[in-house]
Amino acid sequence: MTRSLFTRKHERLRQLLVAARKHAKLTQMQLAQRLSRPQSFVSKIERGERRVDVIEFFELAVAMGIDAHAFLKALTYEDGPQEGRPRHENRSRGKAGKPW
C-alpha cells in the first residue's frame, strides 16, 4: 500500500476540502467551531500536514453541509476510470455550482 499523504489523490482531496469549505462560506475557524476542534486542526488538514480518517471525513462533510458520496465520487474519478473500474457515462460532479 502506498503512503497517501503525498499522492496526487491526497492533494486533490485537500483541494476539494478547501473548495467545499469556501463554497459553504466558512472560515477555518468557523468550521473548527462546528467540529469542536481547534482552528489548527482544519489548517493542518488543508495544508497536508494531517491525514483525515473516514470518521473525521464524514464529520467534515456534515459540518460543511456537503454530500459525502458525491464528494468521494469526484475524488475517485479525478483521472477518469482506471483499470478494473467500470466506465460511467454520467460523470456528474454533484449539484450545480459545487466544485465536486
* 11-27: b (≥16 Cβ within 10 Å) or e: ebbeebbbbbbebeebe
Could you give the 3-state DSSP secondary structure of residue 2?
coil
Record the pTM.
0.74
Q: What is the CATH number of domain 4-76?
A: 1.10.260.40
For the chain, what are the domain ranges? 4-76
What pLDDT, on the 0 to 100 scale, is given for residue 74? 86
10-residue mean pLDDT profile of the chain (100 residues): values are: 71 94 97 98 96 96 96 77 42 54
